[in-house]
């Protein structure tokens, strides 16, 4: 059965063929640049993702949008994030330099719904951490209650009939620490280390580490070359190992841009096998100077936002910058977009109320902004 990636909320006519591929990397510059950590990632898909950037201030009242006993919190930190179709936080960084992003993972199962535990929609999984924590260490220290239970239960649902919505989540911070979280058979598996710098959508992270070990003594002679996630992981890990040590912010940004472009999938027509879909945009987060970069492959757009100068305190307001093709005259736009945001309401998250945790089920209507034939309910 076909699976639905967080970055592919799409036209119903492609139901039987859709999968997705993304790659994430964390790079640290040299001592002359203060060991700056820049995290970059690709979005690979074969239809426009209709993304937006949102600036969320601290002090927002949040509801986990998971039905009965949804998690509630007030955002402690502001953030700048990128959405998918304005229904979920897909990638972003907060004012403290904590970065988070979603990638697809086949076989994810968040577990059957347990209303005794607070529920959190997949739309807000990344956002919850950006709202509440300053570092990976802070997140790791607070993942579980004193009795050892998860503090909340991630909930998802079937958005398009016959397709599952399942992901894993990756966090990184200004110290270079990384945390990968995956749910398998209802249990949280996590991997924390400054060494875990490369992540792709597949397979589970323990197997990705095995892939890295397999290739580490072979890369001087050969490397796999397809656009699939296993091959992308091997190539990105080797490219990162060979990357120069940057001495300035500009050099560090250029290195990460080069790493992402080297692993990006070239533009191509839609095909039945979209596991090899083209890279449509790339994002970078400078966790030291708090800059967030966005680069479109298809629309001639390359922007950056100075997160430190956006009003993201409790006196700030939610703002939005659409990245959809043709919106706001963005085509061909380059440079500082910090002042290009306009006041907006926060996006409406997916009501993730499925009784199962495998990405299927759920009741009520789901409407995906900007796309046709994507309203589903059961």
pLDDT for 17 equals 35
Global pTM reads 0.91
Both tokens assigned to 240: 């990162």
Both tokens assigned to 339: 């002042």
Both tokens assigned to 340: 């290009």
Low pLDDT (below 50) residues in the chain: 1-19, 272-274, 373-378
* Other CB atoms within 10 Å distance of the CB of residue 213: 9
Q: Please give the DSSP secondary-structure letter assigned to residue 338.
A: T
pLDDT for 276 equals 66
Phi/psi of residue 182, each to 5°?
A: -135, 140
pLDDT for 7 equals 38
- Domain locations in the chain? 3-343
Q: What whole-number distance in Å separates Cα of residue 279 and Cα of residue 230?
A: 16
Q: Could you read off the pLDDT of 36-56 as tens digits, one per residue?
A: 999 999 988 766 778 999 999
> At the topology level of CATH, where does 3-343 sit?
Penicillin V Acylase; Chain A (3.60.60)
% helix, strand, coil for the chain, step of 5: 20, 30, 50
Q: What whole-number distance in Å separates Cα of residue 42 and Cα of residue 204?
A: 18
pLDDT for 6 equals 38
In the chain, the N- to C-terminal Cα span, in Å, equals 18
Number of H helices, E strands in the chain: 5, 22
* Other CB atoms within 10 Å distance of the CB of residue 361: 16
Both tokens assigned to 26: 């964390």
The answer, yes or no, to whether the previous bond of 203 is cis (omega within 30 of 0) is: yes
pLDDT for 78 equals 98
pLDDT for 367 equals 78
Q: Could you read off the pLDDT of 323-348 as tens digits, one per residue?
A: 876 665 577 788 999 999 999 999 99
* Other CB atoms within 10 Å distance of the CB of residue 291: 22
Q: What whole-number distance in Å separates Cα of residue 40 and Cα of residue 228?
A: 18
pLDDT for 271 equals 55
CB 20 within 8 A of CB 7: yes
CB 363 within 8 A of CB 159: no
Nearest to 179 by CA among 167, 166, 197: 197
Q: What whole-number distance in Å separates Cα of residue 31 and Cα of residue 132?
A: 30
CB 323 within 8 A of CB 51: yes
Both tokens assigned to 27: 């790079």
Q: What whole-number distance in Å separates Cα of residue 329 and Cα of residue 300?
A: 11
What DSSP assignment string belongs to 210-239? Answer: HHHHHHTTTTTT----SSSHHHHHHHHHHH
With b for 16 or more beta-carbon neighbours within 10 A and e for fewer, the 242-280 pattern comes to: ebeebeebebbbebbbebbeebbbeeeeeeeebbbbbbb
Q: What whole-number distance in Å separates Cα of residue 45 and Cα of residue 227?
A: 12
- SS3 assignment, position 79: strand
pLDDT for 8 equals 34
- Which pairing describes strands 164-165 and 3-4: parallel, antiparallel, or unpaired? parallel
């Amino acid at each position: 059965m076909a699976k639905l990636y967080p970055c592919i909320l799409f036209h119903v006519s492609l139901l039987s063929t859709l999968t997705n591929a993304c790659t994430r990397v964390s790079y640290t510059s040299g001592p002359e640049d203060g060991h700056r950590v820049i995290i970059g990632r690709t979005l690979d898909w074969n239809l426009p993702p209709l993304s937006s950037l949102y600036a969320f201030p601290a002090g927002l009242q949040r509801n986990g949008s998971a039905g009965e006993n949804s998690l509630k919190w007030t955002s402690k930190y502001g953030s700048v994030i990128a959405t998918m179709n304005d229904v979920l936080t897909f990638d972003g960084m907060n004012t403290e330099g904590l970065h988070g992003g979603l990638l697809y993972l086949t076989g994810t199962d968040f577990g059957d719904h347990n209303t005794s535990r607070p529920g959190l929609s997949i739309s807000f999984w990344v956002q919850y951490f950006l709202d509440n924590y300053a570092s990976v260490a802070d997140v790791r220290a607070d993942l579980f209650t004193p009795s050892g239970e998860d503090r909340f239960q991630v909930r998802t649902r079937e958005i398009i009939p016959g397709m599952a919505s399942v992901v894993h989540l990756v966090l990184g911070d200004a110290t270079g620490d990384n945390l990968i979280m995956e749910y398998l058979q209802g249990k949280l598996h996590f991997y924390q280390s400054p060494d875990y710098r490369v992540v792709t959508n597949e397979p589970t992270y323990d197997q990705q580490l095995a892939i890295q070990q397999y290739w580490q003594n072979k890369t001087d002679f050969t490397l796999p070359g397809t656009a699939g996630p296993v091959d992308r992981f091997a190539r990105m890990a080797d490219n990162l190992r060979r990357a120069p040590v940057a001495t300035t912010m500009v050099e560090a940004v250029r290195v990460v841009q080069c790493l992402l472009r080297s692993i990006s999938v070239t533009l191509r027509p839609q095909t039945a096998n979209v596991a090899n879909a083209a890279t449509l945009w790339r994002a970078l987060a400078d966790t030291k100077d708090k800059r967030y970069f966005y680069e479109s492959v298809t629309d001639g757009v390359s922007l950056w936002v100075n997160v430190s100068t956006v009003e993201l305190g409790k006196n700030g307001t939610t703002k939005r910058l659409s990245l959809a093709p043709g919106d706001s005259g963005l085509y061909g736009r380059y440079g500082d977009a910090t002042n290009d945001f306009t006041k907006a309401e926060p996006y409406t998250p997916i009501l993730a109320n499925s009784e199962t945790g495998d990405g299927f089920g759920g009741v009520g209507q789901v409407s995906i902004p900007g796309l046709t034939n994507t309203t589903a309910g059961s």
